[in-house]
Amino acid sequence: MCDAFQELALKIDRVDVFPLRYPTRGFFKFLTGRSAAGRAAVLVKITADEGTVGWGQSVPIESWSYETLETATVAIRDYFAPHLMGVDPLQMDQAERRMDQAIAPGFSTGMPLARAGIDLALHDLAGKLQGKTLAQMWGRSSLESITLSWTINVASLDDLEHQLSQGQQRGYHHFNIKVAPDPEFDVRLARRVREAAPHGFLWADANGGYDVETALAVAPRLADAGVDVLESPLRPNRFRGYQALKKQGALPILMDEGVVSAVELEEFVQLNMLDGVAMKPARCGGLLSNRRQIELIERHGLMWLGSGLMDPDLALAASLGLYGAYGLDRPAALNGPQFLTASVLTQPLDIRGDRAYLPTAPGLGVSVDPEKVTSLGVPVSLGVSNVL
C-alpha cells in the first residue's frame, strides 16, 4: 500500500445489499423449489468514505447449501455490515476477523456463501483504489483466458444428444457430468460422453450422492468408461469412506462440499481423504480463503480444479480472476454462461466458444449497471430495499 493510501486512512462508510434473481434456461438439478423462479444472488456494494465503490456477489442456493436468498441478504445487511463500518477496506484480514465476530464459526466459517459477497466487494474496492487487477494485487502474472467445461445434467439418456450437441455447437470440447445415485445410468452416461469427446477432459460430479459401498463399486467402472476425476462421491462427513476411495485409487478423488476453510482442508489432506479439491470462491467465503486453499493444495502436490455455483456475472469475473492468477491448467466447470440469460454488467464478459477471457480493469475488472440491478431485483422479507 502506498503512502497516499496510508495518509487517507480509508474506512468503509456504507454497505448496500440487493437481492436478485437471474432468469435461467435449460435443466439443472439445483434449480428446484424456490430456485425454479431464477438463480438467486445477492449483490453487495461497499463504499469507502472517499467515495470509491466495490461490488461483490453472494450466490446462495438452498438445494445445494443451507444458505438462501433471504438468509444471505439478512446476514450481510444486519450482521456483517454493521461490524465492517469504519474498517480499512484494504485490511481484509481485519474484515475477516470482524465477520467472525458477527456470525461465529460452526464446524467451519459461518455463512460462507453470504460472506463471499463481501469478500468479492472488498477485492473489487481494493483493486480500484490501487489501480490493480486481482493478479497484480497478489503479485502474480495471469493467464489471458480460461477454458470452460460444458455441464451435462440429464435425467434420461434420451436427452443426452441434445445437451451434447448444444455444447459442441457452442464450441465446447470438455464436459462435466452430474452423476449419482444410479451407478448403472452413470456408467452408460460417462461412456456415451467419452465417445462423443474422445480427447476432452471428462469430470464426474456426484454432489455427495453415493453411499460408500456404491462409490467404491462404481469408481473403477467410471474410470473404465473414460472419466478422468470423480468429485464429491460422498457427503463430506464420511471420512472413512473418502479414505477408502483414495486408497482404492481407481480415480482421483476430489472434494467440494464440506471444504470451506483451509483449516479443515489441511485436516482432510493429513487424513488421506482426497487427491484434490474443486475450488469455488463462493463456497468458502471468497477469494481470500480460496487462495489459501489453492496454495495449501499446491504445497502438498495435489490437484485443484476450477468450479463454480452457476455463478452470475460478478461472481464469475472473480472466479476467472482467481483461476487465471493461479494458472489453472484444466477446463473449469463455470457454467453460469450455459444456464443464465441476463447480466447486471455494463459490458458482458468476453466468452468465445469455450474460452472465457479475463477482465483486465482494476478490481474484479467489470462495472455494474444500476438499471439492470433494479430490473432483476426481488423483494425479500424484512423490508430489504432495492433502491440504488
Give the CATH superfamily of 3-131+370-376.
Answer: Enolase-like, N-terminal domain (3.30.390.10)
- What is the assigned CATH class of domain 137-357? alpha beta
Among residues 253, 299, 259, the alpha carbon closest in space to that of 276 is found at 253
Domain ranges of the chain: 3-131+370-376, 137-357
- Reading across the β-sheet that carries 145-147, which strands appear in turn? 145-147, 355-357, 350-352
Where are any strands of DSSP class E within the chain? 12-22, 39-48, 53-58, 145-147, 150-152, 175-178, 202-205, 229-231, 253-255, 276-279, 303-306, 350-352, 355-357
Averages of pLDDT over runs of 10 residues in the chain (388 residues) are 55 97 86 80 98 98 91 97 97 96 94 98 98 98 98 95 96 98 98 98 98 98 98 98 98 96 97 98 96 98 97 98 98 97 97 97 98 93 49
Q: What is the pLDDT of residue 380?
A: 78
**SS3 of 190-211:** HHHHHHHCCCCCEEEECCCCCC
The three-point CA angle 126-143-333 to 5° equals 90
Cell of 74: 439478512
Residue whose grid cell is 476432452: 200
Q: What is the pLDDT of residue 382?
A: 54
Contacts of 105 (CB under 8 A, 6+ apart): none
Q: What is the pLDDT of residue 381?
A: 61
**SS3 of 348-379:** CCEEECCEEECCCCCECCCCECHHHHHHHECC
Q: What is the pLDDT of residue 384?
A: 45
Q: What is the pLDDT of residue 54?
A: 98
Residue whose grid cell is 470423480: 230
What's the distance, Cα to Cα, between the start and end of the chain in Å? 30
Q: What is the pLDDT of residue 379?
A: 85
In this prediction the pTM is 0.94
Strand, helix or coil at 41? strand
Q: What is the pLDDT of residue 385?
A: 46
